[in-house]
Amino acid sequence: MDGGLVTAPATGEGVDIDALAADMRSICGPEHTLTHHDQLRTYESDGLLQYAALPGVVVLPSTGEEVRRCVEACHRAGAPFVARGAGSGLSGGAMPVEGGALIALTRLRRILEVDLLNQRVVCEPGVTNIAISEAVGPSHFYPPDPSSQIVCSIGGNVAENSGGAHCFKYGFTTNYVTGLEVVLADGQMVQLGGKGLDIPGLDLVGAFVGSEGTLGVATKITVRVVPSPETTRTLVAFFDSTFEAGDVVSAVVSEGIVAGAMEMMDNLSIRAAEAATGAGFPQDAGAALVVELDGSETECEARFDQVVAMCEKGGAWKVRVAQDEAERALIWKTRKAAFAAMGRIAPNYYVQDSVIPRTRMAEVLRRIEELAQEYDLQVANVFHAGDGNLHPLVCYDGAVEGEPERAEELAGLIVKACVDAGGSITGEHGVGVDKKRYMPSMFKEEDLATFQRLRCAFDPDGLANPGKVMPTPRLCGEVPGPYREHPLEAAGIAERM
Amino acid sequence: MDRYPAFGGHKEAVKEALVDRLRAAGEAGTPVRFAGAGTKLRWGAPVEGAEVLRLEAREIHEHNAGDLTAVVDAGLPLHELQETLAQEGQMLALDPPLGDEARATIGGIVATSDSGPLRHRYGSARDLVVGMTIALSDGTVAQSGGKVIKNVAGYDLSKLFTGSYGTLGAILKLSLRLHPLSPENATAVGRSPDPAALAAAALELSHARIELQSLDARWEAGAGIVLARFGGTRASAPAEDAAETMKSHGLQTELSADDAEWWGDQREAQRSDSSVVVRISGVQNQLGAVLEAGRHLGARVVGRAGLGLSWITLPNGDHAAGTVQDLRRTFAPSPCVVLDAPDSVRAAVDVWGERDAGAVTLGKRVKERFDPADICAPGLMEGQ
């Protein structure tokens, strides 16, 4: 694959950005094409503020066709582009390419069709996650529920294959997307999948979901919604340690109980979240375990009593059962507030997203504790215990010399501990820019080169969100066939080696 | 009973040997196909003159009961895996036809994305495969995904290869998500000679706030049934409720706790060794029309009522190819794919039917990248 490679910087360097901005203005209107430095700065980061880059132009199209024309203009100009939804991502996946184009999809926020009879919703990418459940509720709901669901967009969810607390039972974004309208990096629009299942041909919908914006831009998304459960029962149990709580999680799973959600918070996150919501979580608890069961009433009741007994037997010194919807909402608000509330504990923190096989939890948590002591930093833990998705938050003070570097090193060692235990570097946040350096710890060179084949089939010119996912920049060799000029060559940015 | 004869004779095709033979075929430019038990080798557009490479490796490498995961060779028969998992009260939630007869292999089921009634609750192969080792025609052996059920690192090549019919390369090994076996099962059965009544009952159940394991419909010989299956520790209570719903639509009902045979029949009716089977990828609300088509044609229908999927087995006769075209006109834009069919019918129709041109072109671009020699089941995914 070495012959005929094109070298190009992962920046917009060499792109005639003024000409591109003029094109964008004619497509989307001057009021939706931003080039002023102060306006551009709004878009320099996503939810992961450690990484920032200033785009050359930001454009806010209002229709799929405008998106298509903007992408086509980028392709003509040889300009790298990044699509952005709500900008709430936590891996730097929507961080702009320096000097390139940023396509913000916030104006594509229409729900186009609610086909409740067939349990499908067709919407634009800027629609928020929660808006889908609201459009089909209360009889039905859309299960993947990232903690940021009130702001995050379904387009971003598709890019990242977002999960959430209820994914252990219900699955992830990829299990609910049945159809996509996608603008490829050359400006061509394709329809993948539809409302039906088993559409003939390769599962390109499955390949696209979770591709982090590197295969194109989704402009229309068809998702499956499901009937709401008859009953939901929620409890939060408090333990002396995460180890005790972890044992209860294992016991619940071995009993064959498929909980709607099982979430854990350690003492540090309890304290931070409690300060934010005042839900009455005891400040001295070593761990809080939230267990939610849903389903048919008879089944749920029987299983719920079992879980309460397991918690008590497993050392819980307090089990609080939500008596009504308000109390349930408060428990969840506290759990979902944990990330944001961490600002109360430390000026800065690294959010991690590693996954481990659940049976290795105690061992990995101990290792994290040891590492934190060794590095003299606090690590809070708030995680999806059912599926082993840890969210260690490495706390540090950016103003203290050397501390950010120490925190980053510690974060890397935590990721390594998780991968060594048979896990993954990311469960739901995506690789983005943040975790691409860890990719070689999970995948060998041959695996990465095979990933690249998919990328090259969709975007042979490497213009869609370059510099993400892959640990080192790589471009596409030609498929056997007639020579075709690379647009970066045409634009005079790169040359063939 | 040997209705779907497996390709025999090639015992040497262990995993490493398969990779070598695949590479050699890639260099020589000679077409190959991959087979587990070979129960679905005739599906897809005909591939001329391909050498069949069998996935002989059939080991269970890991069963991590506490993590609800397993790692297995693609050549492992589903039934062997299920027996091992059942000892720990677990299962792989895939129940396609021919899976319980020591026949269909995990690799073959995944490569064709074949599915059964459990799909209602657990999804299909694409939802249960969490990692994959693949071999490409240039000798590359690569891995995607991992061993944990939640993982978004790297591209999801498992989904790309699931349902790819071996057109991109071979699936060697799979990492699977498991589920607990249900301690109890109970099925509500409702009968009616009226397709509309059956469809109305099934539609109401598919929208009810109940947790179904499976929800099927069936039409055969002038009468039909709706089947609603529940699991858990109290399975009979919701089954009784479902029977009440069926009654309200005029169905004659019964409850079955020993219900395996009902569901085995549903699976079996998705296949035929002599007739044409058409799978319709529709939507839930089309079930009435599909059952009505079954009545009108004198055909057998299996409907996965909550998913919009149906399998129609056409009566034998000279007009099967024309009937396929009629079904496509009636149910457009829902794809109607010909699965089992005699060669004469296969030669007379495009088994896949009309598809979105942009998606087909993009699919070809993907194949060019993964299989530049174009030797893996060339033409199988293409129309005429």
Digit-coded pLDDT (tens) for B43-94: 999 998 999 999 999 999 999 999 999 999 999 999 999 999 999 999 999 9
User: B127-159 pLDDT, tens per residue?
Assistant: 999 999 999 999 999 999 999 999 999 999 999
What pLDDT score was predicted for residue A486?
58
Delimit the domains of chain A by residue range: 111-227, 231-340, 346-434
Nearest to A229 among B209, B238, B362 (CB): B209
Both tokens assigned to B360: 């087909």
Both tokens assigned to B68: 């609800």
Q: Considering chain A, what percentage of its residues have pLDDT values greater than 70?
A: 94
Query: Searching chain A, which residue's CA lies closest to the CA of residue B285?
Result: A118
Q: What CATH number does domain B53-180 carry, 3.40.50.720, 3.90.1210.10, 3.30.465.10, 3.40.50.11540?
A: 3.30.465.10
Both tokens assigned to B79: 């039934």
Model confidence at A497, pLDDT cuts 50, 70, 90, reads: very low
Nearest to A204 among B237, B285, B359 (CB): B359
Nearest to B6 by CA among B56, B40, B33: B40
What pLDDT score was predicted for residue A299?
87
Cβ contacts (< 8 Å) between A157 and chain B: which residues? none
Q: Please say whether the structural domain A346-434 has been given the CATH code 3.40.50.300.
A: no
Q: What are the residues facing A217 on neighbouring strands?
A: A183
Nearest to A284 by CA among A303, A302, A296, A271: A271
Radius of gyration of chain B (CA): 21
Cβ contacts (< 8 Å) between B152 and chain A: which residues? 160-161, 163, 210, 424, 426-431
What pLDDT score was predicted for residue B14?
45
Model confidence at A475, pLDDT cuts 50, 70, 90, reads: confident
Q: Is there a contact between A172 and B150 (Cβ–Cβ < 8 Å)?
A: yes
B287-297 vs B195-207: helix crossing angle, rounded to 10: 150
Nearest to A452 by CA among A425, A424, A432, A472: A472
Model confidence at A480, pLDDT cuts 50, 70, 90, reads: low
User: A175-224 pLDDT, tens per residue?
Assistant: 999 999 999 999 999 999 999 999 999 999 999 999 999 999 999 999 99
Kindly tell me if the per-residue pLDDT of A3 is higher than 60. Answer: no
The b/e string for B181-212 (b: 16+ C-beta within 10 A; e otherwise) is bbeebbbbbbbbebbebbbbbbbebbbbbbbb
Task: Please report how many Cα atoms fall inside a 13 Å half-sphere around the Cα of residue A197, on the Cβ side.
Answer: 27
Query: Searching chain A, which residue's CA lies closest to the CA of residue B162?
Result: A203
CB spacing of B356 vs A191 below 8 angstroms: yes
CB spacing of B146 vs A424 below 8 angstroms: yes
User: A42-67 pLDDT, tens per residue?
Assistant: 999 999 888 999 999 999 999 999 99
Cα distance between residue A172 and residue A428, in whole Å: 9
B104: closest CA of chain A, how far (Å):
19
Disruptive mutation site among B144, B362, B375, B380 for chain A (greatest number of A CBs within 10 Å): B362
Instruction: Give yes or no on whether A111-227 and A346-434 have one common fold.
Output: no
CB spacing of B156 vs A174 below 8 angstroms: yes
What pLDDT score was predicted for residue A147?
87
Cβ contacts (< 8 Å) between B154 and chain A: which residues? 431, 439, 442-443, 447-448, 451, 469
Disruptive mutation site among A116, A419, A454 for chain B (greatest number of B CBs within 10 Å): A454
**Positions of chain B with pLDDT lower than 70, given as ranges:** 1-16, 383-384
Radius of gyration of chain A (CA): 23
User: A256-285 pLDDT, tens per residue?
Assistant: 999 999 999 999 999 999 999 999 999 999
Is the ipTM higher than 0.85? The answer is yes
Instruction: Report CA torsion sign: A232, A238, A242, A244.
Output: negative
What pLDDT score was predicted for residue A40?
96
3-state DSSP assignment of residue A2: coil
What pLDDT score was predicted for residue A482?
41
DSSP A245: H
Instruction: Report CA torsion sign: A17, A18, A24, A29.
Output: positive
CB spacing of A429 vs B152 below 8 angstroms: yes
Cα distance between residue A145 and residue A164, in whole Å: 5
Amino acid at A1: M
What pLDDT score was predicted for residue A340?
81
The b/e string for B34-50 (b: 16+ C-beta within 10 A; e otherwise) is bbbbbbbbebbbebeeb
Cβ contacts (< 8 Å) between B123 and chain A: which residues? 171, 175
Delimit the domains of chain B by residue range: 53-180, 184-348
Nearest to A252 by CA among A366, A361, A365: A361
Query: Searching chain A, which residue's CA lies closest to the CA of residue B366?
Result: A457
Q: Please say whether the structural domain A231-340 has been given the CATH code 3.90.1300.10.
A: no
**Peptide bond before residue B238 is cis, with ω within 30 degrees of 0:** no
Instruction: Report CA torsion sign: A447, B152, A203, B55.
Output: positive
Fold exhibited by the domain B184-348:
Vanillyl-alcohol Oxidase; Chain A, domain 3 (3.40.462)
What pLDDT score was predicted for residue B383?
61
CB spacing of B142 vs A446 below 8 angstroms: yes
What pLDDT score was predicted for residue A489?
58
- Give Cα B238 to chain centroid, integer Å: 27
Domain spanning A111-227, CATH architecture: 2-Layer Sandwich (3.30)
DSSP A6: B
Cα distance between residue B358 and residue B374, in whole Å: 20
Q: Is there a contact between B116 and B99 (Cβ–Cβ < 8 Å)?
A: yes
Rounded to an integer, the average pLDDT of A128-142 is 97
DSSP A478: P
User: A381-412 pLDDT, tens per residue?
Assistant: 999 999 999 999 999 999 999 999 999 999 99
Q: How many CB atoms lie within 10 A of CB B59?
A: 12
A242-254 vs A361-375: helix crossing angle, rounded to 10: 160
